[in-house]
Each structure stands twice: as C-alpha cells, then as structure tokens.
A and B are shown apart, each in its own frame.
Chain A
Amino acid sequence: MSPPRLTGALRSFSNVSKKEDLAEQVYDLKAKRLKRQELFAREGLTWQKIVHFCSEHQDKVKQHAASQELKSLLVAAKQIVGDEHGQEAIESAGVFLFETFHNRDHVGTEETRAIKQMFGPFPSSAAEASCACVARLVAQVGDSRVEELIQTQKSRHDPQRTSSFGRNIDFSYEGYTLHPLETLSESSVPDKDLDF
C-alpha cells in the first residue's frame, strides 16, 4: 500500500479532481493478454504468409517436410493458447511462436516471459517443441530470408515506429532524496525538556 501522501488528501478533500468511479472497468492481466492476442493477430505477418513462404521455391520433399513442421508448430501453439480457442487464435499463436523463435536455438528466460505475457501460463514442453519446429523450418529456408520476411512485414505494418514523440528528449531519472539538516547524533538543537 502507498504511504500517506499530500496529493491523496487533496484528491479526497478538495474539489479539483475527477472523482474515481469505482464501477469503471479496470483491465486485469487476463483481459490484457486477450487484447494483445487480438492486436497481434491484426499485425502484418499471418499464418498463411508463413505457410506460403516456407513452401515456395522448395522441391516436393522439402515442401512435405515443411508442412509437417508447420503442423507440429500448430499443435504446440494449440497447447499454449488453450483448447477453448478457435483455429484463428491458434494460427495467430503459431505466428507469434515463429516470430519469437526464428533466431533462437533454445527457450530462454526472455522467450518464456514473452510467451507468458501473451498467453499466460503454458506447458514448457510445448514451448520446447515449437522452438525445435521453428529451428528446423528456418534451417530449410535460410535464416537471412526469414529475418528479411519478418522485418518487411513489421515495417509495412508499422511505418511510424521510428518517429516516436520524445525520442530525443534528455530525460533524467534522478529523484528527490532525503536531505536532512542534521543526523540524530549531531543534532544541535538543545533538548529543553530534560528528565530528572
């Protein structure tokens, strides 16, 4: 709980702030994850694009192998996203896993955190399986081509990313700290209230 603050008292006792409406909806982590999944699904790269990308310029044997890997990736995605979701959500999760693992050879802390932030708690075996699938797919196609695909899709979807407000502002993280006149031991104020 936050310690007592002057501004807390001003909000409670003066008439210059908006009164908090307790009935207003506050988004929790679960609702936020669903929203993120929805927003992610609208971003540039789609499952169909990945399927097409992995099968183009490949001979029949490689196409078959890629198709098997993509199926396995969707199975792992289903385990991560949960059975209650439809095909669209599972494919979107597949895209997320593809993007997450395309330049990784193992499931590290960062990847675990990213998956959890998107989908909540998940079986680690599914993450391992998807990481392995993506690694085999990337090996077939070539990592530079995969990287190019992902970057192209990202920049096409979000061209204004580079011009964020405040990018060049010299922000200071410095905060106010205690600046006492004296410590207890060096106090120069005489204690008039002597105990006898």
Chain B
Amino acid sequence: MACVRVPLDEQQVTEAGPLGKERTLPALHPDRTEQRCFVPYKPPPEDSTPAEVEEFLEHAKFITEDLEWLLALPHDKFWCQVVFDESLQRCLDSYLHHAPRGLDLAAVPSSPAVADMQRSVHRAVFLTFLRMATHKESKENFFTPAVFGEIIYENFLFDIPKILDLCVLFGKGNGQLLHKMIENIFTQQPSYYSDLDETVPTVLHVFDTILEKCGLQCEGATAMEPMRLNAHKQPTAMTMSQQELVDILLYLCDSTTTIHAFLDIFPAACSSFQSRGFLSRLTSFYETMVPDLEKAVRKRNFDDKSLQEDLWKRLSHSCRKMVETSHLLLHHTCLQPILERRENMQTFAEELLQYFTSFLPEKRFLCDYDEQFPIAEDISLLQQALPVIDETRTSYLLQGVESAWDGAGRRRPESRTQDPT
C-alpha cells in the first residue's frame, strides 16, 4: 500500500474488520483508530508534596509513552489517530493551555525527576505538532495539499490561539522549525489569515481590558458612554488589591511576549496586525499604561520586596516586548520593502514617516523606542534608499524625537546623542 505514490487522502486499505472478515475502506477512517485513551496534561505541582509529584510523574509518563507510540506509527495510522481520536486532541490542547512558560512565576520544576519528565513531554508534544504540520513526510507519505489544509482547519488541529501557544512555548530555540510549520499551515490553508484578521481585535480588546481594570479610559469607549458623576470609582493600579496588580502584570507580560514571539517567528502576520491599526493602539496603550503601572510597582507598599522587584522586571520586560513588536511591525511592513527595493517604495516611505510622526505625541513610548531602535538610523536608511525624501519633514521628526527626550527629563545614551539638524 505504502509503495504506491497516492496521497493518503485517496488511499484505500483492505484489512480485517471487527468480525474478522476482510473489507476495503479509506486509509483515513475512524475504524482504523486505536482506542488509546490519552490523558490530559497537568502542570508540575507548585508545592510539590510527594503525592502530587507522583501524580504528575505518572500523568506525564502516560503522555510521553502515548505520544512516542503515536510518533512511531506509520503515516496513515498516525493521521487516523490525529483526526479521529478526540482524547489525543484534548491531551495536546491541555498541554498548550497549562504547560509552564519560562516567564511564569513558578517556572522552575521542584525536582530533577519532575524537570526531566517535563522535558520529555515538552519534546514529544512539539514533535507531534511538527508531524501534524507536515503534509509531505516522504515521497510515499503525503497528502493532497488542499485536502491537508482542509483537514487541519476543519478539525481544529491548528487554530490561531494554538499557533500563538506553540510560538511562546517552543519558539525560543526552535524558531526556524516553527517558522516552517506555521508557514506551511498558512500556505496550505489561507483561511488562517482570515482567522488572524478576526483575532487582532480581540488582542486589542485585551489591552482595553487591562486599561479598564486599572481605571484608565480606553480608546473609543469614553466618548460613547458618558459616566455619571456619582458613579462608583474604578480602582486604579495604586488602589487595587496586590493580587489584582500581580495578575495584571502577569497578563501583560504573557500577552506582550506571546505577540512578539508570534510576529518574530511568522513575520507574514505583521500585515494583518497593521491593517487593524494595531501599532497606533499599542503605542497609545503604552503611553497610558506604562507610567501608571510603574508608579504602582514603585510606590505601593510590598511586604515581599522580591515580589516588587519581580513585578518591575515583568513590567520592564513587557515594555521591551512592546517596543520590539512595534519595531517588527514597522520593519516588516515598511522598512523591509524599501530595503528590498520593491515597487511603490515611496508609499512605504510615506507610511513609515507617518508612523514616526504619530509617535511624536506619545513621548514616553517615543523615548523608549528611540533608545532601542534609534529613529535617526532608520531615517538615514530611508534617505539613502530614497534621496528625494522631504528633508523638512525628516528634520521636524528628528527634532520631535530630541524634544521628547528633553521633555521626559531623560538622557539619551551617549553614543547616540547627535544633532538632529
């Protein structure tokens, strides 16, 4: 059967049925699925009593054993299991939901045995997703590309939240492989681009929720809903409970890291984010939220000083990720096309200058961005690529950057101080 070069979705197999009689059926058929009973993943215990550790080890051992069995299956059997065994999909989903990220508060496993087991599950889960993202495993084992795209989409084998989870869990050291996986998923099934477009407003809503929870107005909402003068006052980052503040910072840290990891691994998604006005919302969120949260972490009374230091690091890390995300978006949607001398360079240059100009009122963001990615350097690149660029405009922009630094009372890194004129 496997020797004939027919795509799996067109193959038929003849094998013994439940009553022992031979029958012919499609290679991808629910009757060819093994009832394996994959168990859902549970994260390593935090307090680690011996019983909890044992339970984790047992659960995790079942998962690795089952996934290793799955990975050793021939191509057709693997796909029968993937498509028709719901317990497998629940097991994989549970891992994406609950697997500890490197940024979690208690990310370090309690014992070497737990750490080893966690690593085994981690690898097995990745390889399973890798195999699920591969439509051509070898010359003999492959799908019709369109059918593959349909199978992964219709069965929710991949969806946008899963892809984002994969990036944040595995992206640090496996970026190239993940890039190939995600690129193949989007190529074989372009509907994922529509899903991505649909997801961006929800990502923006997450930022609005954070603002709202901190008693800060979110864009658009204020004009629509007038507030009663005697309305109950919303808690702020200074007045909310410490746990709420911790949760907000964990949420912010996770959100910014996840978005950055995804765009870094799959830059083709930058256009979807840009088309939904993501960058301008991100910068105004930054401008409103960061000073408030900084003040809260700095001034609130923490009994546990290490928690205060940790929260500061999370906030600072989130700031870095927001700035890096902004740069990624600008780089892939404006700068890169200019550097590659694509058509309509002038339009891309215009867009880039417009974005930089829109940063000018967001002084805090502007300084932090300029510190990481000096705007003068990008302007200089622009001038080299397009000598016709309006010099009055670039001078105005660079002066704006300079005055943002002065207005914020911050000193630019020595090596980057230069005369904007």
Contacts and interface: CB of A to CB of B under 8 A. Distances in A.
B8 to A, nearest CB: 14
B320 A176 contact: no
Interface string B279-311: 000000000000100110111000000001100
Interface of B: 35-40, 43, 54-55, 57-59, 61-62, 68, 71-74, 78, 86-87, 90, 96-98, 101-105, 107, 119, 122-123, 126-127, 130-131, 137, 156, 159-162, 164-165, 168-169, 171-174, 177, 195, 198-199, 202-203, 205-206, 209, 247, 250-251, 253-255, 257-259, 261, 291, 294-295, 297-299, 308-309, 312-317, 319-320, 364, 368, 408-411
Given A163-B72, A191-B298, A193-B295, A18 B159 contact: yes
Nearest to A179: B317
A190 B131 contact: no
Contact of B105 (A3, A15, A169, A171): A3
Q: Which 10 A-B pairs have the closest CB atoms?
A: A172-B173, A175-B102, A174-B173, A180-B316, A166-B127, A6-B255, A184-B312, A18-B156, A7-B161, A35-B37
Contact of B313 (A7, A31, A117, A180): A180
B364 to A, nearest CB: 8
A120 B122 CA distance: 25
Interface string A1-30: 011111111110111111000001111110
Given A27-B38, A113-B57, A16 B160 contact: yes
Nearest to A174: B173
A2 B102 contact: no
Contacts of A29: 39, 55, 58-59, 62
Nearest to A185: B309
A43 B297 CA distance: 59
A118 to B, nearest CB: 10
Contact of B177 (A5, A17, A169, A184): A169
A15 B198 contact: yes
A165 interface: yes
B320 A181 contact: yes
A178 interface: yes
Residue from A17, A165, A172 whose CB has the most chain B CB atoms within 10 Å: A165
The interface size bin for chain A is 35 or more
A169 B174 CA distance: 10
Interface residue SS majority, chain A: loop
B313 A16 contact: no
B203 A177 contact: no
B303 to A, nearest CB: 16
A182 B171 CA distance: 24
B255 A184 contact: no
Contacts of B137: 165
B266 to A, nearest CB: 15
Contacts of A26: 40, 87, 90
Given A4-B251, A180-B313, A13 B205 contact: yes
B164 A7 contact: yes
B241 to A, nearest CB: 15
Contact of B199 (A14, A39, A177, A195): A14
Contact of A10 (B40, B130, B199): B199
A183 interface: yes
B58 A165 contact: no
